[in-house]
Structures are given as C-alpha cells and as structure tokens.
Structure 1
C-alpha cells in the first residue's frame, strides 16, 4: 500500500467526523459556515491536525482518531468555558497551561494525582500504546528514507507556520481575518481553524513600542490604585449591604459601575486596560491576553508616566512572581520596585491567600515610609476563586465564602480611607471582574464591576456617579499624576 493511498481513507474519516462534531456539538452560537472558502479553511485545519499527529507515529488511523479526539476535546472545553466565562476557547488560553500545574489551587481542575485524572490518562496512554503496536507504520522500508520522512514532515509544518507570519500568506490571513470576531469565525471555519488563524495573526502583528513619557510636575503626592479581586457590590448577588459601599457613595469623589473586558476571569485584561488606558480595539489579536502580546512594552502606562514625573513606582501583590509573569510584566510597565509573595510570608491569611486587610496595612506602611511622591498599584488576592468546599472552616457554600471574603475587602477599603484622611492623596479601587460563581453566570451585569475614586486633602466635593469602562478609568487616572490637571469630561465615559 502506498503512503498516499494508505493515508487518504483515514484522513477522509477524520475530516468527516470532526466536521460532524463541530456541526452538532455546539462549539459556536452562529450557524455552521457553508461557503466554499470557509469549508476549505475548516477542512484544512483538520488536515493539519491529522498531519501533526501523523508525524509522531506514521500510523494514519491512529492520527485520524487523535484528530477526532482533539476536536471533540476542544469543543467540550470551549462549551464548558463559555458556560462559566461567556467566551469560547481562544488561542492565548494555551499559553496559560503551564501555570495550571504550578498553581492548581487556582482552578477547578483536579490535580494530576487525582484518580479522576490519572485513571483516564493511564487508560489513554495504554490504548495509544496498544494501537501503536497493532497498526503498521507507513514509513518507508529504507532506514535513510524513514529518517528523511520523519524529519521532513514536522519541518514542513514548521515552515508553513513561519510562512504564515510574513509574505503573501500573512497578507491573505490579514485579509480574511482583519480583526477578532470569535463567535462569527468559529461558526464560519470551526474552532481549530480559528485557533490557528488567530495565533498566526497575533504573531504577525507589529509590536507596540514604548514611547518615552514627557516629564511634568507631580500631582497628588500619593496615588494608590488597587485592583480588587472578583469585587462587585454583594447586594447584586443577594448578599447583605457592604458598609464600604455606603462609605463610597457618601465619601468618594466618583464611583459607579465599571465595564471590564471579561466575566469571571482574565484579570490581566482589566489590569492592562487601567494601567495603559488602551481600548480593546487598539490591541488587535492581543486583546485576549495583552500580557502575552506585549509583555508590558506599551506605548503608554501609568507607572511610566508617574516615574517621568518624579514618583516612586511600586507594585504590591501578595502572590507568586511567576503568576501571569507579573514580575517581568510589571517591571516593563515601569514599576521600579515590586513587593510580592515572598514579602508576605508571615502575613495573615484568610482561606488560602493573604488577607485583604493585611495587604491594606502593608500599603499604608509603604505610604508612611515614602521619601517622595508615590504611585502604588496593588492587586488583591484573598477573594480569588475557586470557591470550593474546605476553603473556609465550616463554610462550604461558594456564595457564602465569597461574601465572607468581600466583607474583608470592604474592611480594607475602610481602613485605607481612614489611614489616608490626613494625606493629600488619590485612592482608586476597582473590581477586575465579577466572580465566577454558580449564582453569577455570564451576562450578569454586562461584565460590569464597581469602582470608586477618593480624593483626600483637597476641597470637598459631592460624590458623583459616573459609569466608565476600565480603559476610560485608566485614562482618567493620568490626571492625578500631574499638577493643574484637566480631567476628561464627565459626560464622555461609556455607560456600563
């Protein structure tokens, strides 16, 4: 049997079954694309998957079954993700996989040692081994031809990927996918093809070079911005009133709903939006993970602007440096000093993470120890999901756990407001995203959280409710780093 004829039947089965899985598996909300060009792209992605698996074994039926299994797994994972977060699987999700084994407590996925994971994995490995033994290889009989074939196929796939990053193929991809449109593209060409196309488009996009920040006299001597993990008004979830929210409504210069780029996850999107003021439409295919796209090398950032104006720039986060590559990213953003997990080794914990109250007290200590103007950006950790049984003693209900933690977040805000009362300072607190709770599913509040902006040491003003987007809040905060600021018009923010 020739290589070509031995491969055609398995390939045809892989393409047909993969198409059926996506057509009836609910991977996308829109109808299955039937235009010839879309079908070619869809089937081409399945074919590339089959060739990828074939390069490991040179057994066509094993490669075909691996392709079908891969497509089925992608569709199931995408559906599960959409149910929790409201968004299908995206190419940048694969870059986050290495942090799952490093920080398994942050996910609902069981550890690899769990029988639910280890058992099926061992069965799958045994099945592949048996199949590998039963199905004959299509490699040529000659040793040298076999070695040449083994090397040629993966090199050809790599060459194709490289060609798609530049030249005619890159221009064709840019024409076909001018901007991200996940639901539409998944429906037109399928999930595997969309994952591949978006990854290639991201690689081909030019880097966003950092621009030197112009110097100006500093504004408020202390500017503190705190990203509150999974923070929203608990009354929106049926919880009790939070005293800190009443404090916000009566004392904050501005407060309101904050429309953020995602529901239930993707902290880095909100973080990036506030720190850079970049609108999602400015990020191209890097919109799904701005840190993966540019790693902190941005045309504009609050810490870079603050440093140019003479501020000490400090990032405070009571968790591991490697999570989201935050240490590296924050240094590139312009933070000259980092206070991270190792600096909180002896801090109080509530559940698995450093308490928000302990974090707030460290922030106040940094304010009192400053030698000049200070710009401080902090990310809380106490209320990070998942909210699973065993997290808090005697409290297993996810919503009850969340409400316990959010009360501590409120106490931190109250202590900060009291501690900054005698300073000339700005304090901004905002929620990064709504919690991924069973009672808070996608579509809740149109991905809006809550934010507040306090001004201390200046003329008192009546609190104003102004609903904003996260990037608009970031642009608004720039004015606090300059003297004689000219703030944006109150009528311009997008309503959440």
Structure 2
C-alpha cells in the first residue's frame, strides 16, 4: 500500500507541474483550495482508471502523467492554430482522423511516423508489465474480488455524476462555457469532464425562439436564393496578397457587404454553417457552441432550409466532398435539405490541388439555377481552398501563403461568374467566408474572427451598396427575409432530383 500511495502522490505532483508549466505566466493555474481539490481529484481518478488495467502503481502513475502531458501538448498546438484549448467535442471528430488524415495535419496510421511510435509504445508497456510486479492480493479469490470491485466503484462514481444533485453542483462550477478560464481553474482533464456533463445535461433544452424577420431584412422574397459558404475566405489584401476583382465587386455591386464575425478561427466550419443556417447565437447554444451539430444533430425547426421548404422552394445542399465528413449527409438532411449534391456528383470534375475546384462548383450552381422548375434555395460549401497548404499540393507553388492566394483568386472568379450568371433573375446571392485560414501569417487574433461577406440582390433592388459588419448568426436571420414568400398551394412544382 505505501507503494500505491507514493505512486499516486508522484502522479498528482507531476501532473500539476506539467499543467502549471504549460500555462506559465500566460495562463497561471488557480491556487484556490476548491479549484485545486477538483484538479487533484481528476488526476487521482485518472490514475485509478489506468490502475484498473494493470494493478501496477508506477505504470498507472506514469500513464496518468503522460495522459495529462499529451492533452496539454495537443491543447497547446490547437491553441496556437485555432485560438482555443482542447474541448470535449473534439473527441467526437476522432473517427474522422484515420479517414481524412491530411485534413487534420497528420499521417495515416500505416505511415512510419505514426506506426513507429505506436508500436514502440506498445512494446514499452509490455516490457513494463513484465518488470513491475502487480500489487494484487496473493489469494486468487481476493485478487478476483479486487479486479471486480475497483471498476464497479469507478463506474458507480461516474454514474453519480449524472444525478440531478451532481448536475446542480457542476452547474455551479461551470455555469457557462469559458474554456480558457476553466482550464486555468480546474485543469484540462477536469474541464473536459465537467463540460461534457454540462453539455449532456443541457443539450435537450428547447431552442430559444428567433426574432421575426423585420423590414430591414432582404424583402421581398426572391425566386432564387443562393448562399455559398467560401472555405477559408478573407480579403487577400489583409494577408499581404494582391487585390482580387471580387472584392471590388462587393463594394460596387453588392446590396450589402462587410466583415463577418464568425465563431471560430482556422477551423470548425460547422459553427459558422450552423449560425447562418439557423440564425442562433453562441449564447443560445450554451455548451453546444463548440459543435452545434453534435447536440441537435441537425434538428433545427427554424432553419433556413425548413423555412424554404414551408414556402415551396426546392432545397439543395451542394458540397463536393465526402458524405461522411462531419456526418454531414445525415445532419444536412435532418436540418431540412431535400436534395444533397456531394462528391460523387462531381465525378470527373476538375480538381485544383487535392479538392474539386471552385470553378466546377460554380458551374454546377448555375446549372441548378438554369434547370430549376420552381423556386430554389441552394446552399453550397466550397472545398478548393481547404487546408493544409503544404509542399506538393500545387506544382511549382510551395509556400503556404502563395498556395492560399492561388486558390482564393479562383474563389473570387467563381463569385464573379455567379454574379454574371444570376444577373437579370429574381435572385439573391450571399457569399461569405466560414473562417480565416490557418496560415503561419494568420494566427488567432488576426482581425478578430472576422471574414468577409456580401449579399447581392438581382431583379428588383436599386439601393446603393452599403457596408454593414455583421455576425454570422445575424446574417442568417437577415436571409430569412429572402425566403419569406407566400406559398401557392394550388401550384404544382415538380423538381427533378439529381
């Protein structure tokens, strides 16, 4: 038993030192007794968790410290690129990593850089099992009882955290999402657990009603509404690049344009997508703010797609990438889109780098407009300028920024083509960047979390262009006016499915 206590004390001390060192002066750890109690309890439970698998105290203690260190390293890397620490919803993305390793800046499991360390780790654990003796009781029956009782005790403690009494206490510790402050108070491991419990307790709360569209929204409703979410799009001049004609078109031709405050930097497309499609603010989402689709799974009765369906529009979601990424096909159908046009529909389309080019996507959007047989609401998500921008992506262009600027020029030309193709029609076109790119010269804090957007009105508006800076959710609420047409139930609208 002294060995167990000594190993546990070492695990607590070293884990605390790891997190204190990682935070440094920028994020000093809280020294309040209550906060320290929660932090050290998380280290202790983590040690016991690993202890269950081995009954070797020093292996369990080392595993605890390595887990804390691994989480701290990943969180620090993420903070440097995206501007926020590791959060519980990130673990829901783990199944996507082996399917799309390049999107997560890693290698396939079979690559030597990944397989080598994994095999080495397994070898070290096996050797440790052989070198360190177990502390199980000598009696077979006592050993069996210990093997059964400790996991049951841990499971019972986990179950107790799901009770209403525990939920009330946890709500007092983390009343609202503030990951940086809570990591400093309780440590990363404890914060992850507290947040997932708060998310679980609140995700079934009824959605906050949206305000009705008002006179300043895009009215009257249009026959064609096209919304295009532009991957990693910002004005390239903000990054030191050359101007593109599309931005001048924003200023000269758009009904409304400006900076768009989005909920993330460098990643998390789904946050901005959800904000525009639903009009819901971060405050509305509570602990679901980190991955809105994880909470509701797309069940949003007030989404733009649902509104368009009720008004008699054909609703199409166009995205030239895998159906399974972000579980997108299921989520987008749930959110209300009746037709999904995904990567398989772009077989043979021109690729620029690893992804379907924006020019091909733009041509498909205009083909959908030409072939419509009634009102159309089309929401598209581009893919060409998705990171990572690394050597070998484009022939003769190796610098990440140069690759980005090459792609963003294509995005701009696609916007110009869409404007030209919709000219003269009763249509609204909205284009916006989902987030700034995760480039070496575009780190968190660059322009806040602002991208650029524009809304074009064709066929009826003579208002001069105006600059209005918005949040993504406010843009989504404004777009409701473009879809608020009265449905003619006597008209039969037959829409071909692609």
TM-score (normalised: structure 2)? 0.93
Runs of 4+ in 1 over 6 A off after TM superposition: 210-213, 215-218
Correspondences of 1:34-433 after superposition (within 5 Å)? 34-208=31-205, 219-433=221-435
Q: Distance in 2 between matches of 1:161 and 1:204?
A: 14
Deviates more, 1:329-338 or 1:161-170: 161-170
> Within 2, Cα distance between the matches of 1:172 and 1:208?
18
Measure the CA separation in 1 of the matches of 2:209 and 2:475: 22
Secondary structure of the corresponding residue to residue 447 of structure 2? helix
Find out whether 1:463 has 2:465 as its counterpart. yes
CA distance in 1, matches of 2:278, 2:420: 29
CA contact (8 A) 2:319 2:383 kept: yes
Mean alpha-carbon deviation: is it higher for 76-85 or for 397-406? 76-85
After TM superposition, give the deviation of residue 210 of structure 1 in Å.
7.3
The 8 Å contact of residues 203 and 288 in structure 2, kept in 1 or not, is answered as no
| Two-structure CA RMSD over aligned residues (Å) | 2.1
Contact 1:233 1:450 in 2 (8 A): yes
Q: Is the 8 A contact 1:85 1:262 kept in 2?
A: yes
Match of 2:491 in 1: none
SS at match of 2:162: coil
Helix, strand or coil: the match of 2:77? helix
**1:208: how far off?**
4.7
Task: Answer whether contact 2:254 2:455 (CA < 8 A) is retained.
Answer: yes
Paired residues of 1:92 and 1:288 also in contact (CA < 8 A): yes
Return the alpha-carbon distance in structure 2 between the equivalents of residues 328 and 320 of structure 1.
12
Question: Which range moves more in the overlay, 117-126 or 12-21?
Answer: 117-126
CA shift in 2, pair 1:130/1:229, >3 Å = same
For 1:97 and 1:29, how far apart are their aligned partners in 2?
Answer: 29
Q: Distance in 2 between matches of 1:25 and 1:39?
A: 16
Cα shift readout 1:190-221 (whole Å, capped 9, x = no counterpart): 111111111111111142557999x9999211
Distance 2:179 2:208 in 1: 31
Paired residue secondary structure (1:140): coil
Q: In terms of mean alpha carbon deviation, does 203-212 or 23-32 score higher?
A: 203-212
Deviation at 1:310, TM superposition (A): 1.0
Map Cα deviations across residues 257-308 of structure 1 (whole Å, 9 max, x no partner): 0010111011111011111111101111111111112211124211011111
How far the C-alpha of 1:21 sits from its partner, in A, is: 0.8
Q: Aligned with 1:283: secondary structure?
A: helix
* Stretches of structure 1 lacking an aligned partner (at least 5 in a row): 485-496
TM-score (norm 1): 0.93
1:147 Cα shift?
3.9
